[in-house]
Amino acid sequence: MKYPSTILNLIECFKRLPGIGEKTAERLALSVLDIDEETISLFSKSLKDSKTKIRRCETCNNLSESETCEICKDKSRNKEILCVVEEPKNIILFEKLNIFDGYYHVLDGLISPIDGINPEDINLSNLIDRVKKDKIKEIILALKPSVEGETTSLYISKILEGTGVKISKIAHGIPMGAEIDYVDSLTLEMALENRRYMD
């Protein structure tokens, strides 16, 4: 005796999501039975829509339901400055904090030769085109402080050499409120290297 096939299918589907194992998938599949019909029908429809409606913005590669995303459509922003991020969800964080009013450029991941991800795979030619066409004056690299992030940042600053565009990298260091004792050695090294003189 096993579960009815609908439940088995739900378990299989939940298991395909990252971080969800057999036990959790079973619990989630059974919990679906207790959710109201309206939510389930929205859930079912949204899953389908994720394959048909969601696309990438042709300008910045952000998630979008139209050719151009909401941010690129907004003409009131500062068009001389571009923030380069790894994934669409990074944009949401910046926008929530309301700390940046330029435009974004979303890469398709970070350079990682070990994983077979080369410079030509991460939407860089598009970035170069934008820099030239849109007269970008400054690029802020907001990538993960990892080997891949550093490699990608370095590569981008290399390929934009000579274009006259100012390139900066967001600061890596000790997070606010953190105990120095608990910070890993790489972060501490970065924090020391990036020290600022107080005048």
Which single residue is written with the structure tokens 């088995």?
Answer: 8
Q: Is 49 in the site for its own copies (CB under 8 A)?
A: yes
Strands 81-85 and 103-106: parallel
Min separation Cβ 112 and its own copies, Å:
17
Among 18, 162, 164, 175, binds its own copies (CB under 8 A): 18
Question: Positive or negative, the Cα torsion across 29, 34, 37, 43?
Answer: negative
User: What is the CB neighbour count within 10 angstroms for residue 156?
Assistant: 24
Among 22, 47, 154, 186, binds its own copies (CB under 8 A): 47
Which residue, 4 or 164, is less far from its own copies as judged by CB? 4
Give the whole-angstrom CA distance, residue 49 versus residue 31. Answer: 23
138: amino acid identity, one letter: E
Q: Is 108 in the site for its own copies (CB under 8 A)?
A: no
Q: Is 39 in the site for its own copies (CB under 8 A)?
A: yes
Which residues, 6 or more positions from 127, have their beta carbon under 8 angstroms from its beta carbon? 82, 84, 105, 107, 156
Site string for its own copies, 63-102 (x = CB under 8 A): xxx----xx--x-------------xx-xx--x-------
| Listed residue (65, 101, 52, 59) closest to 80, CA to CA | 101
Which single residue is written with the structure tokens 């390139």?
Answer: 167
Which residue, 69 or 111, is less far from its own copies as judged by CB? 69
Q: Is 12 in the site for its own copies (CB under 8 A)?
A: yes
Min separation Cβ 6 and its own copies, Å:
4
Positions touching its own copies (CB under 8 A) are 1-7, 9-10, 12-13, 16-20, 24, 26-28, 30-33, 35, 37, 39-51, 53-54, 63-65, 70-71, 74, 88-89, 91-92, 95
